[in-house]
Structure 1
Amino acid sequence: MLTLLAIRNIVLIEALDLSFGPGLGVLTGETGAGKSILLDALGLVLGNRADSMLVRAGEDQASVTASFDCAKLPDPVREMLAEAEVEIEPGEPLILRRRLKADGGSKAFVNDQPVSVALLRALGPMLVELHGQHDDRGLVNPRGHRALLDRYVGADTASVAEAWRTWQAAEEKLTAARETIEQAKADQDLLLAHLTELAAIEPQEGEEEDLAATRTTMQKGEKLSGDLDELRALWDGSDSALAILRTAARRLDRISEEHSLLAEALAALDRAVIEAGEAEEKLARAGEALQFNPAELDRIETRLFDLRALARKHGCAVDDLPGVMRDMRTRLDAIEHGEEEIGSLQAAASAALEVYRAQAEAVHAQRLAGAKRLDAAVAAELAPLKLDAARFRTAVTELPEDRWGPSGVDAVEFLIATNPGADFAPLAKIASGGELSRFVLALKVALAEQGGAGTVIFDEIDRGVGGAVASAIGERLGRLAGHENGGQLLVVTHSPQVAARGDTHYVIHKSSEGTVTRTSVALLDPAGRQEEIARMLSGAEITLEARAQADRLLERA
């Protein structure tokens, strides 16, 4: 719901702050006072094309700010704001602002955060529904007709949408399986050749690292082989250092009891023999570990080369080659068992289609029955609105299968014929401005709802009518604004019968001082309302009879 409209330097409006509440608000004023400027300003902040002619003469820039109550924001609005990373604090309003420069440049903001004008343009129809002389949005736009009819009949479109998603998922699995099999068949010979090549080598995970480490060790052994041979010569044989130590230890053992120092010397010598023995063992083990085998090194290097060549060929790491083999075997198995899998997936897709078809046909039947009720409800509203020669029809058309979707198998469009014997056609194509607005009003009353927007604006819905028709329009506007699901209706009107129905009344006035002309808007109190409605009844000179008639209209409202 629109709660505040602040306008700065738009055409004749220098500065204007308007507060709005729920229910029916009427805006009146003499012809040329500037009612269209208000709508142009609102359109600007809702994303309409920026025209530099809107900037007040002599000013560098203009701005329009619109504030909306967030209590009943539609879910699509919240989703769109979340996607744009615009935050709304609990209890805070949604504030849209548009700034227009005299050179034609403009900037858009939502809650003081810079956004694209496209975001304002997308949010606009969900916040404000405007029905004017050249309306192609709201109820006139056939894209929303199916959802309106579904809401009217209480159709379970959620089940249809769920069945649609299940069916599409099953079809996607089937298509993917078919594509996999077809691709596998096309590549079968190449797959077999690659698999044979890989199987001949039989790569193992972690093998590259082990082979590389072994090769590095053997290469070290090749470098150290001379040193190791010399060390082994020092330790081997009867005249080696270790043999001499052991011989010395045996001789010392025979005389160690003769003196304590000899015993200590023997102990030290024994320790030396033990350490030397351990050194001999470690040298032997190092020799084995670093053993250089030219044939084995050549085998390792050849295998590493082959593994890495295959990895490059298949565009993967060496450790991924076993996985590549498994994938190839899976694809080849899919060729062998593919027809069986395709049959199973085909059965699942067919079953999902039948569930979707059953759900969609149930909603289709609801739509057909609801269309007849809606046609009758709208027809009952046409005569009082001076549209008694017109006919209304809700066309429910079954779509071909390639156009079925989550909303079912139907296209829905509201059609009218304004003259006897004339063909039915879309609302916007054959209805004049006044007729179009009255058709929309009849539709809204029949549907007993205000569409997706929390604010609905009718621009001169009473154009070209008066008397009983204007009273009928006013009565229906008041009824619609007071509906339990109602929100906020704003009406730009020249009809006193419509103005008298308003919960709030604003008057638009244009004044001049020298060469400066300004448009202002004032919220009227009860006395001001009586005077304005009396002016609308009598013209420039307000008579006592006009005031009395204004009182009678206000009493009946």
Structure 2
Amino acid sequence: MLHSLHIRDFVIVDQVDLYFEQGFTVFSGETGAGKSILIDALALALGGRAETHSIREGADKTDISAIFNCPETLRDWLQEQEMDDNELVLRRVLDRSGKSRAFINGVPANLAQLRTLGQHLVDIHGQHAHQSLLKNSAQREMLDAHANNTNLLQTLSQQWKQWQNDIRQYRQSQENAAQQNLERERLEWQLQEIAKLQLGKNEWETVSTEHNRLAHASSLLEGASQTLSALDGEEQSLLSELNGATQRIAQLLKNDPALQGIYDALESARIACAEAASDLNSYLDKVDLDPLRLAELETRMRNIFDTAHKFRIEPEQLYDLQQELDANLAHFNKISNLEALEKSIAQNKSAYMETAQMLSKARKKTAATLGKEVTQAMQTLAMEGGTFEIQLQQSDPGPHGLEQVEFNVAGHAGTTPRPLAKVASGGELARISLALSVMANKAGRVPTLIFDEVDTGIGGAVAEVVGKLLRELGGRHQVLCVTHLPQVAACAQQHFQVQKSQKNKTTHSEIVLLDEQERINEVARMLGGVKITETTRDHAREMLNIQA
């Protein structure tokens, strides 16, 4: 649930810190006081679109933080991100330059992460949300959400894309058969040219190194032999000189320990000289003059170089080109193989149809249940005798399944249900939308539900029923509602008032939590307008006592 909301310099709000409880909470206030600003601020913290005009006049930036108790559904995600999972602190900062920064538990985040978390934390029903119900796509989405069809829809969408992709490739292969044959021949020729070489990985580097050594074998042998003779030859050599010097200093060292450093240096030089001589002997044993091998290497290098020249690349790039051409030919053969494509199309269609039929079955079951629940709710919302039905009309296969979803309603007894867009008045549509919202969220796992003046177009006894519905929903979720109806406000367990005032010719909005007496006055204002009488207070007190 939403624990608290902290707003700094947002629209006409200077600073406000709000703390919420579980259950049903309302916000009320005069028109234009800024009731919906709260919802806009929360939406921003949840990754909504940011506009610089939302920064309060005279301020450099707006800063909004929303603190939630962490639901179980998000603990694994937070642990994967190495974030504390005791609570969730979502913060959004927007400055005058348009730069937006986001944080999750103090760690910099991106808007996509905020939106991902928001889907698990809050469901916002805007004051014009009922208008979207006129669209079949919105009706389908609401039915699927109520049926928890998310996983089925994701699988179906992937299967649809794979099926359609195979169909496109099949048609392209049919239309471009001649061109594809030419392309296949080109790839096959290129591969044959390179395959003649039977190249190994990194072969050019290996061959070049060996060729360079054999090409300079004579000079290598001569130079190494001369150096070995100087180090350890039969005549006077460096190693014999070092041996003599080391022995002489060793004798002198017996009489003067100060010569120890010199002795150590000479001994080190003698050992190094002996090791170098030994290594040169080994090197000379391996280096030989092999003109036949040298000729073989020169031929091999020439063939590799000539082939690389044909493809206008460096010799060392030939092996990678061969791997690339091989992969391209395999892919090309796959997409141009009509028989294989036909088989893939059939397999993907079969998989799609199996999932689509499972989706249809789930929709049919949920449509019947939700239709009955909304019909029952309509009886208490001044639509006695009315009925609500969800019709599934078979359609061609598509990314959303095998049917279109259409909400049909009959506002009165004895009338035939017809499409919602054609028969529902504005008030009826608002009431049906509210009933759907309440019913659809009974099984929902989102802990916090927000309703922004969804009670527009109703009043009287119906408004009281709406308030009771929202209070009932508050028993399963945290419910926040912006309302102008006293009947709805009286049903709340927590009541905030949004007040507008003028300071230094600037409009400011304040939000205060009402105590018992203040709440009586606010409900009385909502009942009687600007002038509050003792009669309206008594009426307000009575309404609140009934709901207590």
TM-score, structure 1 normalization: 0.66
Distance of aligned partners of 1:165 and 1:91 in 2 relative to their CA distance in 1, 3 Å threshold: same
What is residue 298 of structure 2 aligned with on the other side? Answer: 301
* Further displaced range: 462-471 or 415-424: 415-424
- Matched to 2:546, the amino acid is E
Distance of aligned partners of 1:309 and 1:452 in 2 relative to their CA distance in 1, 3 Å threshold: farther
Please say if 1:109 is aligned against 2:102. Answer: yes
Distance of aligned partners of 1:182 and 1:165 in 2 relative to their CA distance in 1, 3 Å threshold: farther
Q: 2:364 aligns with which of 362, 368, 379?
A: 368
Q: 2:87 aligns with which of 92, 95, 118?
A: 92
Matched positions, count = 480
Please say if 1:547 is aligned against 2:538. Answer: yes
Q: CA deviation at 1:29?
A: 3.1
Task: Say if 1:131 and 1:437, in contact at 8 Å, map to a contact too.
Answer: no
Please say if 1:439 is aligned against 2:435. Answer: no
Q: Secondary structure at the match of 2:358?
A: helix
Task: Say if 1:125 and 1:138, in contact at 8 Å, map to a contact too.
Answer: no
What is residue 267 of structure 1 aligned with on the other side? Answer: none
Cα-to-partner distance string for 1:41-69 (whole Å, 9 max, x where unaligned): 4455453452537514x555544333233
Unaligned runs of 5+ in 1: 228-281
Distance of aligned partners of 1:141 and 1:90 in 2 relative to their CA distance in 1, 3 Å threshold: farther
Q: CA deviation at 1:441?
A: 1.2
Q: CA deviation at 1:447?
A: 2.5
What is residue 66 of structure 2 aligned with on the other side? Answer: 66
Q: CA deviation at 1:309?
A: 2.0
Please say if 1:384 is aligned against 2:375. Answer: no
CA distance in 2, matches of 1:221, 1:175: 62
Please say if 1:150 is aligned against 2:141. Answer: no
RMSD over equivalenced CA pairs, Å: 5.1
Distance of aligned partners of 1:306 and 1:490 in 2 relative to their CA distance in 1, 3 Å threshold: same
What is residue 248 of structure 2 aligned with on the other side? Answer: none
Q: CA deviation at 1:492?
A: 2.1
CA distance in 1, matches of 2:207, 2:61: 75
Cα-to-partner distance string for 1:313-372 (whole Å, 9 max, x where unaligned): 45575696599499769959997xx89986467446524532431331232133234324
Cα-to-partner distance string for 1:165-220 (whole Å, 9 max, x where unaligned): 57866887898899799988434544565566556655567765675566445534
- Matched to 2:465, the amino acid is A
What is residue 238 of structure 1 aligned with on the other side? Answer: none
Q: Secondary structure at the match of 1:505?
A: strand
CA distance in 2, matches of 1:334, 1:368: 43
Distance of aligned partners of 1:438 and 1:174 in 2 relative to their CA distance in 1, 3 Å threshold: closer
Q: Percent identity?
A: 28
Q: Secondary structure at the match of 1:18?
A: strand
Q: 2:462 aligns with which of 460, 469, 472?
A: 469
Task: Say if 2:438 and 2:473, in contact at 8 Å, map to a contact too.
Answer: yes
Q: Secondary structure at the match of 1:93?
A: strand
Task: Say if 1:174 and 1:342, in contact at 8 Å, map to a contact too.
Answer: no
Q: CA deviation at 1:378?
A: 1.9
Task: Say if 1:471 and 1:497, in contact at 8 Å, map to a contact too.
Answer: yes
Q: CA deviation at 1:24?
A: 0.6
Q: Secondary structure at the match of 1:15?
A: strand
CA distance in 2, matches of 1:378, 1:466: 19
Task: Say if 2:128 and 2:454, in contact at 8 Å, map to a contact too.
Answer: no
CA distance in 2, matches of 1:288, 1:142: 84
Task: Say if 1:390 and 1:417, in contact at 8 Å, map to a contact too.
Answer: yes
Task: Say if 1:397 and 1:412, in contact at 8 Å, map to a contact too.
Answer: yes
CA distance in 2, matches of 1:137, 1:174: 37
Q: CA deviation at 1:501?
A: 1.2
CA distance in 2, matches of 1:436, 1:382: 11
Task: Say if 1:384 and 1:472, in contact at 8 Å, map to a contact too.
Answer: yes
What is residue 289 of structure 2 aligned with on the other side? Answer: 290
Task: Say if 1:205 and 1:319, in contact at 8 Å, map to a contact too.
Answer: no
What is residue 234 of structure 2 aligned with on the other side? Answer: none
CA distance in 2, matches of 1:541, 1:17: 29
What is residue 525 of structure 1 aligned with on the other side? Answer: 515
Task: Say if 2:50 and 2:100, in contact at 8 Å, map to a contact too.
Answer: no
Task: Say if 1:45 and 1:120, in contact at 8 Å, map to a contact too.
Answer: yes
CA distance in 2, matches of 1:2, 1:451: 16
What is residue 16 of structure 1 aligned with on the other side? Answer: 16
Task: Say if 2:498 and 2:509, in contact at 8 Å, map to a contact too.
Answer: yes
Distance of aligned partners of 1:182 and 1:160 in 2 relative to their CA distance in 1, 3 Å threshold: farther
CA distance in 2, matches of 1:491, 1:142: 27
The correspondence of residues 399-414 of structure 1 with structure 2, limited to 5 A, is 399-401=395-397, 403-404=398-399, 408-412=401-405, 414=407
Task: Say if 1:145 and 1:412, in contact at 8 Å, map to a contact too.
Answer: yes
What is residue 504 of structure 1 aligned with on the other side? Answer: 494
